[in-house]
Amino acid sequence: MRSLAVVRLLLRMSILNELQYRVNFFLSVFQSLLALGTGLATVALVFGQVDRLDGWSHPELLLVMGVFTLIGGIVQAVIQPNMTMLMEDIRNGTFDFVLTKPVGAQLFASARSVQIWQATDILAGLVVIIVAIGQLGRRLSIGSILAFVAMLVVGTVIIYCFWMLLTITAFWVVQVEQIVELFEGFFQAGRWPISIYPGWLRIGLTFVVPIGFAVTVPAQALTGRSSGGTWVLAVGLAVVLSVATRWYFRRGLRRYSGASS
């Protein structure tokens, strides 16, 4: 309870600080609309030539894009700013500030900053998802909706853990920005269903850089394209990554403490 109270306070302070720069809201809205418009135009061009893309209909592809935009908004609003701050703290030797706080270091480092205006992508993603559902032309069951929400949460956890694992590498390697930028490039591949890619890349986007579990699987859960086995695999991957992240973070802390003493 104490940790949650501290996190709520941190988030509140971060949001209040962001609200002072309201011009950022209009910039974020413009960027979101531009990115979304570009994506929708690309999809329209593709379906101007074909009726289906590897079995995916136009509404189903819109659903994937909506999930990608929503999770991308979460990344930009919460995950990316905190990971950037963590990298800088480790590199500059200011991580001691995090260690002195009355809350777990990993929790504090993961939730101390929120760029609230980046949440416009979350809203844009939700709108696209709702429109796509309306265009699917079939009634969705409660089970598929619950599976979709659950897979969204699981996908977000997977992205957070993977990004945190890359960031923690800064305890050993000072310059890790290139690795993170490489991951960001792979993340962009998630705007399309992973089934359209070649086999070797499909495997990479599923197990090496698990974008498929984060974006495509939630969309598949809503359209009935995935099975319970896929969901179990996604949950299992999220659990494994969570445990690995916690273990790796503790190792990094020991190295940081040893280097500081």
- Domain that includes residue 28, residue range: 1-255
**Rounded-to-integer distance, Cα 242 and Cα 235, Å:** 10
- Tell me whether residue 126 is in a domain: yes
Burial 193-210 (b: 16+ CB within 10 A, else e): bbeebeeeebebbbeebb
The answer to the question of residue 260 being in a domain is no
How many structural domains are present in the chain? 1
Nearest to 69 by CA among 155, 167, 170: 155
Contact between residue 235 and residue 217 where contact means Cβ atoms under 8 Å apart: no
pLDDT at 21: 65
Which of 153-157, 191-195, 257-261 bottoms out in mean pLDDT, i.e. has the lowest?
257-261
Task: Provide the pLDDT confidence category of residue 38 given band limits of 50, 70 and 90.
Answer: confident
Residue 261 token pair:
């003493």
55 inside domain: yes
Structural contact between residues 158 and 241, judged by C-beta atoms closer than 8 angstroms:
yes
In a domain, 261, yes or no: no
Is residue 168 in a domain? yes
Place of tokens 């974006």: 215
Residue 169 and residue 176 in contact, taking contact as beta carbons nearer than 8 Å: yes
In angstroms, the CA 218 to CA 165 distance is 23
Residue 7 pLDDT grade (very low, low, confident, very high; cuts 50, 70, 90): low
CA angle 151, 152, 153 (to 5 degrees): 90
Instruction: Output the pLDDT for position 227.
Output: 73
In this structure, is residue 218 part of a structural domain? Answer: yes
Residue 206 in any domain: the answer is: yes
Output the pLDDT for position 23. Answer: 67
Any domain includes 195: yes
Residue 255, classified by CB atoms within 10 Å of its CB into exposed (0-12), middle (13-18) or buried (19+), is: middle
pLDDT, mean over the chain: 83
What pTM does this model have?
Answer: 0.85
- CB distance 32 to 120 below 8 Å: yes
- Each residue's pLDDT tens digit, 187-242: 888 888 888 888 788 888 877 778 888 888 888 888 877 777 888 888 999 999 99
